[in-house]
């Protein structure tokens, strides 16, 4: 399939607007969108000079009529609504033969995941989940180094993460975040990124036990602090995250048999150490604006649609991390280990 692609963004709230802007920035896509909020629909249409539809029916019905250039045959879509709507919208679009990039988490329930997988297979569609950490250059470089075997086999992964959510998402009380049923709480909203990255780095999680609680964030009761112990085969894992500390930091350390590697989002770098009495060796890195990873993600998705590359995070990997999220929530409810 040749450029430009006709890409429909479904939901242009906080992250949907970023996707719209970043797909435009690729220079390879004509973009239109669906947004149920009328005021936001008008604002985004005017801000980006693109066509906005009030619902999916209108967007799909308009195809081929050519009311607006971007309303020609839609070839791909990004689903950026709250997570409880992702699978229902994905199934509808997949049935129409449209390739998909679906925001994380894939859903808040496993219902519909098998049906989507079946339709995707039957129709030969490209469908990925937008776990954007996989587009951060320093994390990708660290993963390549670990996979090369130069530090020996990984034996342990330790992730320590925190962010002051009210600073970065002041409207959190008025979004999906307030309720686990719509994808809220620290596990489904934030820790899922790091758990997915951990699976990418050292393999799928096979069992886990979790602890979490609401400790600080005002105006919500969902967990804002979470700890998860994991097993990725032989690799022992530990992940902690809170959404109220001042430092905005994600540190992921992989301890291998003959060396230790560490990725630090706040420093946009990865580093390694082999001998006990040496300093960290810092790998060269470039500082990037936040949109950069999303433009990379958009380009990688369009490349996959064009058949040039595989997806950075496949539907199957997104389903696996959905199972991890649900197992973590079940572990908290039941107070015991969960096997996936
Ligand atoms: N990758 C990331 O870094 C990242 C960051 C934030 C959010 N997210 C994920 O993206 C998704 C959306 O999050 P957000 O922060 O943008 O939420 P948001 O509430 O800001 O935006 C969601 C938008 O979807 C619209 N919407 C709801 N139902 C719709 C429908 N049926 N059709 C069309 N539009 C509809 C809403 O009106 C709203 O504008 C969530 O799954 C969230 O977890 C990912």
- H/E element holding 120? helix 113-123
- Whether residues 245 and 124 share a domain: the answer is no
Q: What is the mean pLDDT of residues 88-114?
A: 98
| Res 308: pLDDT | 82
Residue 242 and residue 159 share a domain: yes
Tens digits of residue pLDDT in 114-170 = 999 999 999 999 999 999 999 999 999 999 999 999 999 999 999 999 999 999 999
Q: What is the pLDDT of residue 54?
A: 97
Q: How far apart are the first and last CA of the chain?
A: 38
| CATH label of the domain that carries residue 125 | 3.40.50.720
Please indicate, yes or no, if residue 89 is contained in any of the structural domains. yes
**Largest distance between two CA atoms of the chain:** 69
pLDDT over 60 (residue 65): no
Q: Are residues 95 and 127 in the same domain?
A: yes
Q: Which of 53, 79, 82 to mutate to test the pocket of ligand 1 (most atoms within 8 A of CB)?
A: 82
In angstroms, what is the span from residue 87 Cα to ligand 1's centroid? Answer: 13
Return the CATH number at 140.
Answer: 3.30.360.10
Q: Quick check: is 42 in a domain?
A: yes
Tokens of 293: 């990873």
Predicted confidence band at 286 (pLDDT cuts at 50, 70, 90)? Answer: confident
* 156, 37: one domain: no
In a domain, 228, yes or no: yes
Condensed to tens digits (0 to 9), the pLDDT of residues 193-227 reads 999 999 999 999 999 999 999 999 999 999 999 99
**Residue 64: per-residue pLDDT:** 55
Q: What is the spatial distance between Cα 213 and Cα 227, in angstroms, rounded to a whole number?
A: 9
Q: Is residue 281 part of a domain?
A: no
CB-based burial of residue 14 (10 Å sphere; 0-12 exposed, 13-18 middle, 19+ buried)? exposed
pTM of structure: 0.96
* Cβ(263)–Cβ(142) below 8 Å: yes
Count of domains forming the chain: 2
% residues pLDDT > 90 (the chain)? 92
In a shared domain, residues 210 and 124:
no
Cβ–ligand 1 distance for 189 under 6 Å, the answer yes
Contact 166, 242 (CB under 8 A): no
Give the DSSP H or E segment for 256.
Answer: strand 249-256
For residue 245, give its domain range. Answer: 136-276+321-339
> Do 44 and 92 have their domain in common?
yes
Residues 196 and 326 in one domain: yes
Supply the pLDDT for residue 285. 80
The answer to whether the CB of 221 is under 6 A from ligand 1 is no
Q: Is 175 a member of any domain? A: yes
Could you tell me the distance, in angstroms and rounded to a whole number, from the CA of residue 30 to the centre of ligand 1? 21
Question: How many Å apart are CA 162 and CA 55, to the nearest integer?
Answer: 36
Q: How confident is the model at residue 70 (pLDDT cuts 50, 70, 90)?
A: very low
Least confident piece of the model among 199-203, 227-231, 305-309 = 305-309
| Same domain (yes/no): 198, 333 | yes
- 241 bridge partner residues: 161, 226
> Do 84 and 182 sit in the same domain of this protein?
no
Are 143 and 257 contained in the same domain? yes
Is 230 within a domain?
yes
Ligand 1 pocket residue status of 130, Cβ below 6 Å = yes
Question: Percent of the chain beyond pLDDT 70?
Answer: 96
In a shared domain, residues 309 and 327: no
Please check the confidence at residue 71 and state whether its pLDDT lies above 70. Answer: no
């Amino acid at each position: 399939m040749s450029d430009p692609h006709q890409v429909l963004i479904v939901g242009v709230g906080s992250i949907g607007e970023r996707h719209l802007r970043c797909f435009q920035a690729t220079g390879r896509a004509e973009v239109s969108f669906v947004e149920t909020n009328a005021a936001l629909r008008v604002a985004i249409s005017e801000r980006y000079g693109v066509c906005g539809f009030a619902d999916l029916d209108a967007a799909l019905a308009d195809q081929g009529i050519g009311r607006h250039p971007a309303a020609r045959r839609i070839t791909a879509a990004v689903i950026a609504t709250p997570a409880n709507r992702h699978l229902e919208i994905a199934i509808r679009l997949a049935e129409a033969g449209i390739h998909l990039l679906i925001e994380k988490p894939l859903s808040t329930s496993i219902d519909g995941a098998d049906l989507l997988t079946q339709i995707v297979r039957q129709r030969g569609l490209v469908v990925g989940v937008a776990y954007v950490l996989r587009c951060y250059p320093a994390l990708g470089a660290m993963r390549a180094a670990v996979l090369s075997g130069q530090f020996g086999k990984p034996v342990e992964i330790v992730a320590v993460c925190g962010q002051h959510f009210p600073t970065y998402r002041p409207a959190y009380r008025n979004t999906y975040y307030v309720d686990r049923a719509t994808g809220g709480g620290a596990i489904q909203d934030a820790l899922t990124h790091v758990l997915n990255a951990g699976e990418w780095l050292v393999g799928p999680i096979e069992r886990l036990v979790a602890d979490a609680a609401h400790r600080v964030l005002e105006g919500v009761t969902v967990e804002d602090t979470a700890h998860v112990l994991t097993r990725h085969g032989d690799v022992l894992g530990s992940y902690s995250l809170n959404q109220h500390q001042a430092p905005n930091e994600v540190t992921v350390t992989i301890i291998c048999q003959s060396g230790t590697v560490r990725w630090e989002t706040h420093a946009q770098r990865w580093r390694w150490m082999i001998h006990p009495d040496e300093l960290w060796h810092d790998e060269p890195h470039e500082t990037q604006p936040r949109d950069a990873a999303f433009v990379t993600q958009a380009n990688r998705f369009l490349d996959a649609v064009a058949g040039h590359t595989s997806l950075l995070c496949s539907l199957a990997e997104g389903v696996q991390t959905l199972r991890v999220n649900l197992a973590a929530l079940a572990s908290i409810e039941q107070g015991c280990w969960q096997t996936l």
